[in-house]
Amino acid sequence: MLFGGIGLPNGEFGKTDGDNPGFAKQGFFGGAEIMFSLAPSIGIVLDGRYIINKLNEDELLKGSGPSMTASFGQWTGILPMGGIRLYTTGSIGLFVDAQAGYMFAKSPEISYSGTFNGTPINYKNESQNGKGLAYGASAGIDIGNTLVVGASYIITKPKFESTSSSGAPGSTPTEQQMNMIHLWAGIRF
């Protein structure tokens, strides 16, 4: 099956304030899935997803003033997962599954330059690779064993080695929650 849809950031990943906000906006993703039946109504499911979430630029620039210029990257991730699926058969079937996998993520690059209250600022947070365990649960409807619609909840917190510079370079390892809700549709071949 090939599938795709929208990704809604959840928890810290979509927050713009508080502890460890991700500033992620609604994104999109695409992927592929294969399922192997073990017994009637029980199967093993394997899938992979490529995920993109842009940053909430308006919130990041709040209060920076008109003399600041900025450029922003985006959150991306590759998420292979596998797990168990319970399903019904017939012209309209239902399914639920639980999966585990590993998130290979990339943090967004963020650059600011200009002046703030008369002080020159030049800041760059370079994009870094991150990785971490991921867990997911999905449910959906299979129509005629061809069209599939569903929703997934993904929980992951990859660890990044971020490098930032605002005069002096530094390196700080960080974990960023990247929980999301995926609403999707797919076609089975």
Q: Quick one: pLDDT at residue 60?
A: 86
Across the chain, mean pLDDT equals 91
8-31 mean pLDDT: 95
CA dihedral angle for residue 180, residue 152, residue 156, residue 124, rounded to 10 degrees:
-30
Pairing of strands 129-143, 110-116: unpaired
Q: Quick one: pLDDT at residue 119?
A: 83
Tell me the per-residue pLDDT of 128-162, one tens digit each, with 9 for 90 and over: 999 999 999 999 999 999 999 999 999 999 999 76
Nearest to 54 by CA among 111, 19, 13: 13
How much is the pTM? 0.89
Spell out the domains of the chain, with CATH numbers in brackets.
2-62+73-108+135-160+177-187 (2.40.160.20)
Q: Which helix (H) or strand (E) holds 52?
A: strand 42-54
